[in-house]
Chains A and B, each alone.
Chain A
Amino acid sequence: MVVASIQQIDMETELISRAQNGDRDAFGDLVSKYHQAVIRVVYRMCGEMHIAEDAAQNAFIRAWQNLPNYQPSASFRSWLYRIAINAALDMLRREKPVVDIENTVISQSFKVERHLMKEEQTQLVKRTILSLPETSRTVLILREYEELSYKEISETLDIPVGTVMSRLNYARKTLANALRPSLEDV
């Protein structure tokens, strides 16, 4: 198990090194490995498919362009997540989907009484997450969906672990307040 993991790391290091020297096939292998992870992060940051696809595309193009400057001392996944999050935030600033937390809470309490359908509940969760400030939303996504440790989140976003904890706490508290009727239903 450990040996397989070391071999995987070695393989990734080899791919990164080749891609840093302009090898497109090696970069293609890296894209293949991280495509789903990047899509997951950017989609949950944006909430819209077409924005997420463009953001993921931009993220990988930026990664390719900046790969020669990547220092192997940092985790490649963290480095890539950081690029992806920035690409998603840039796209969001350009596209600006409108999400209003007040309306979310009101419509939610209205719908809870009529037993929310699964899809409606998903939409509600999505809207509530998107209504969070970017900083706490990012931390929440990396923890809840990507299952990164506090230390990994801290490295990815270049913030102290204490800040990770307070942003995560703020995000969860806000979500719990906004989704309370749904939580009672769970």
Chain B
Amino acid sequence: MNQHIETWIDAYLDGELNEKQIAKFEKHLETCPQCLELINEREKLSGLLQTYQLPDTFKNTEQFIHDINMLLPREQTRVFKKPRTGGFWLIGSIGLLILLTFTQVINLISNLLLLVPGVDTLVDQAAALPGLIQTTVPWLQLFFEQWFTFSGWGFVYGSLTFTSIALTGLLMLIYLSWLVLGWSNQLTQQKQQTFFNQ
């Protein structure tokens, strides 16, 4: 009898075989007296193991709870998420500042271009073409235009400087949120330090 079948005997007696496996194993048992003998031995063993019972002299549960309560430490261990390092927050802040500067420069150049004689005509011609450039910063302008039109506040929109103001405000908001998150992260680190030093 091989090891594979012997392991199956345990699984069979422990009710761990599925119906198909049980049928297959029972078919095997019909022709294998060795396995039958082993099953008999395993059943006797299981009965014999049950003689190893607990003594009655253990503390009762009430007494045990009372004793445990006296021993429980005041603090429980809390695992904190590993906080982000300073570099992560710095890179984010620098990235946002670069983006802010970039959009400002693009806006400035766009407005300067409008001062060049004859550009007005070009912009008007471009605006007349469906789906093409509407302003000097079209990607953002379109986005805000649709936004305001959809919400019924389309009349607010229209000034060329609106894009610049909205974009600057948006980026500043993101930048401030980022700073708040960084500050909150620093506070968490300080709390953890205090906790572990206790």
Query: What is the size, in residues, of chain B's interface with A at 8 Å between Cβ atoms?
Result: 37
> B54's closest neighbor in chain A, by CB?
A43
* Contacts from B to A (Cβ < 8 Å): 3, 6-7, 10-11, 14, 16, 41-42, 44-49, 51-55, 57-59, 61, 64-65, 67-69, 71-73, 75-79
Contacts of B77 in A (CB 8 A): 65-66, 68-69
**A144 and B68 form a contact (CB under 8 A):** no
Minimal beta-carbon separation of B139 from chain A (angstroms): 45
**A118 and B51 form a contact (CB under 8 A):** yes
- In the assembled complex, the Cα of A172 lies from the Cα of B3 at a distance in Å of 13
22 CB-based A-B contacts, threshold 8 Å: A35-B61, A43-B54, A49-B57, A53-B59, A56-B64, A57-B71, A61-B71, A65-B73, A66-B77, A68-B76, A69-B77, A69-B78, A122-B53, A129-B49, A169-B3, A172-B10, A172-B42, A172-B45, A173-B6, A175-B45, A183-B41, A183-B45
Do A165 and B11 form a contact, CB below 8 Å, given A68-B79, A179-B45? yes
**B52 and A169 form a contact (CB under 8 A):** no
**A53 and B58 form a contact (CB under 8 A):** yes
**B7 and A179 form a contact (CB under 8 A):** no
**B57 and A179 form a contact (CB under 8 A):** no
* Contacts from A to B (Cβ < 8 Å): 20, 22, 24, 27-28, 31-32, 35-36, 39-40, 43-44, 49, 52-53, 56-57, 60-61, 64-69, 118, 121-122, 125-126, 129, 143-145, 149-150, 165-166, 168-169, 172-173, 175-176, 179, 182-183, 186
Minimal beta-carbon separation of A72 from chain B (angstroms): 15
Do A183 and B44 form a contact, CB below 8 Å, given A24-B69, A64-B73? yes
**A179 and B76 form a contact (CB under 8 A):** no
A-B contact count (CB 8 A): 108
Contacts of A150 in B (CB 8 A): 11, 14, 16
- In the assembled complex, the Cα of A87 lies from the Cα of B11 at a distance in Å of 29
Minimal beta-carbon separation of A36 from chain B (angstroms): 7
Minimal beta-carbon separation of B50 from chain A (angstroms): 8
- In the assembled complex, the Cα of A123 lies from the Cα of B130 at a distance in Å of 95
> B49's closest neighbor in chain A, by CB?
A144
Minimal beta-carbon separation of A122 from chain B (angstroms): 5
> A61's closest neighbor in chain B, by CB?
B71
**B78 and A125 form a contact (CB under 8 A):** no
Q: Which of B48, B51, B52, B69 counts the most chain A CB atoms within 10 A?
A: B52
- In the assembled complex, the Cα of A49 lies from the Cα of B6 at a distance in Å of 35
Contacts of A57 in B (CB 8 A): 64, 67-68, 71
> B9's closest neighbor in chain A, by CB?
A169
> A140's closest neighbor in chain B, by CB?
B49
